[in-house]
Structure 1
Amino acid sequence: MWSLLGGGREPQDATLEHTVRRELAEEAGLHIADLTPFGTEYASDDTGASVPIAIYAGRWNGDPRDLRLTEGVMLAWFAPDDLHRLRIADTTCELVRRHAASRPANASSTASQSGPSSHEERRPASPHGTVLNVIGVHLHLERPDGTVLLGLRHPDSAFAPSTWHVLAGHCEQESAVTCLIREAREEAGLLIQPQDVELVHVVHHVDHAGDQLRMGLFFRARTWTGEPELREPDKCTQWKFWDPTALPDNLVSYTRQAITKIRNGDLYSESGWPA
């Protein structure tokens, strides 16, 4: 998940400002001239106790790709209006937006006129219009008779309730194949080896205009161990092998498309994009 830089106070920190300066230096080699207290947030620790978190605000105009990052995987600039596209805590979104709202109305226009040192002109983290795409992995499990495995999603599922779908999941801090193997084990008790996996289709899809963009990777398992079990009944209520020429009517649309494309040997397709 995306989050702010920071960390806990240590004995050598005389003040909270010393803490945040030390954390910025240790995590990213950052040294900010002016830091000002912005507010205090509260989180719960493992015991349920409330923990105060001091928030400081500062200004920096550099390229995050040039920083020496020692924790996490990357740093990047994001506009407050783009936060809804990220996997990020709601409290962090609210904090950033509250800070943005507290700035003078002409702050951005003033910055754009301030010459080559302005933040807008010097932030080269990503091309204009670039957004993050969620990576989803899907298991195309096909028996020798040609039937394919589908699962009936729980009626209370946030995505496609009471609808058939292949075994699938989102990549976490892992490779796509590792994710596929983990999801197969966790959701259905199936054991798959990395060398038995092959990519058979990619679908770039969006459910509705303005929704999160998604890249779906469909992998075939040439062989596997075990029979599908209901390991997560709160997500999937039934596993069944279906004839690909007689798929259920209530099937996720891009999944139906992908199964057809796989049978035709097509590697790529798109779904949900405006014509």
Structure 2
Amino acid sequence: MPAAPQRFRAIVDVHVLLLRGTSDVLLARRAGTGYGDGLWHLPSGHLEEGESVTDAVIREAAEEVGVTIDPADLTFTHVMHRVPDRVGLFFATRTWTGEPYNAEPHKCSELAWWPMDDLPPDTIGYPAAAIANTLDRIPFALDGWSTNP
């Protein structure tokens, strides 16, 4: 009997929109990672084996910006399927414990609050698109996939 083909496995990214005031979102300028260095991005990371997506969001927020989030305070806002093997899940919260700070200076050069509808032009494209989709209440998007049938 032939072996069953391997199932496709996507890499799952989690992202958190820490929201302040009427429309500000916290962004981090990446540094020293080899991906998007010098550009703005949301606090984010990869889902680890055996971890729920909400646990991953909470872990990443604590690791990157030093805040504690109660899972009950997270709201799912968007999912993005990125070419070729990434699925990004985006969550938002207006409630956390602690003041955000740069908890990973070896991966981030600065933090700043930006209006969600006026992000800096040097924001990485896919989180900028996810933030815009969150504002427009669009729950799903493709990134990098051909729109031709």
TM-score (norm 1): 0.51
**Counterpart check, 1:162 vs 2:42:** no
The answer to whether structure 1 residue 179 and structure 2 residue 59 are counterparts is no
Structure whose residues are more often helix by fraction:
1
How big is the shift at 1:150?
0.5
Residue 271 of structure 1: aligned partner: 143
Secondary structure, aligned partner of 2:98:
coil
Shift of 1:125: 5.1
Deviation digits for residues 207-251 of structure 1, max 9, x if unmatched? xxxxx5100000012411112111111111111110122211111
- What SS class does the counterpart of residue 69 from structure 2 fall into? coil
Question: Sequence identity of aligned pairs in percent?
Answer: 36
RMSD: 1.4
1:91 corresponds in structure 2 to none
Correspondent of 2:12 among 135, 138, 142: 135
Q: Which of the two has higher C-alpha Rg? A: 1
TM-score normalised by L of structure 2: 0.92
Q: Find 1:232's aligned residue among 98, 101, 104.
A: 104
In the alignment, residue 189 of structure 1 is paired with which amino acid?
G
Whether the 8 Å contact between 2:36 and 2:124 is mirrored in structure 1 is yes
What's the CA shift string for 1:56-88, capped at 9, x where partnerless? xxxxxxxxxxxxxxxxxxxxxxxxxxxxxxxxx
- Residue aligning to 1:220: 92
**Runs of 4+ more than 3 Å apart:** none
**What is the match of residue 124 of structure 1?**
4
Alpha-carbon distance in structure 1 between the residues aligned to 2:94 and 2:111: 19
Q: Which runs of 5 or more residues in structure 2 are unaligned? A: none
Question: Which amino acid in 1 is paired with 2:41?
Answer: H
Report what 1:248 is aligned to.
120
Return the structure number with greater strand share: 2
Structure 1 segments unaligned to the other structure (5+ residues)? 1-116, 207-211
Shift of 1:205: 0.8
